Amino acid sequence: MPIFEFRCTECGDVFEKLFVGSDDSVELKCPQCGCETLDRVLSQTNYVMGAGPGGAKPKLTEKSCAGGNKCFTLDIPGPSK
Ligand SMILES: [Zn+2]
């Protein structure tokens, strides 16, 4: 089961969220302050763990952004809203 990390843009709290394949109604909000403005934090370890047997793997694409910073896009397979 893929686990993704998120960081709250309001209070800065970082938490992990487990995505269960059969549940397409994942609620995403900060456990500390309850707001829903979150940045996704990519964890390589969790990304590897998320590659379950027989399941589609999240697709991580690295690219260069303005200012020389690296950024990533992550496509999560499975049910989508
Ligand atoms: Zn928060």
Digit-coded pLDDT (tens) for 4-63: 889 999 999 999 887 776 656 667 889 999 999 999 887 655 445 555 555 566 677 777
Task: Report how far ligand 1's centroid is from the alpha carbon of 55 (Å).
Answer: 31
Please check whether residue 32 is in contact with residue 8, taking contact to mean a CB–CB distance below 8 angstroms.
yes
* Whole-number pLDDT of residue 52: 52
Task: Report how far ligand 1's centroid is from the alpha carbon of 28 (Å).
Answer: 11
pTM given for the model: 0.47
* Whole-number pLDDT of residue 12: 95
Q: For residue 4, give the H/E element and its range.
A: strand 3-8
Give me the residue spans of the domains in the chain.
3-75
Q: Which residue has the higher pLDDT, 50 or 70?
A: 70
Beta bridge partners of 46: none
Backbone angles phi, psi at 64, to 5 degrees: -95, 140
* Whole-number pLDDT of residue 69: 73
Distance CA 37, CA 21 (A): 23
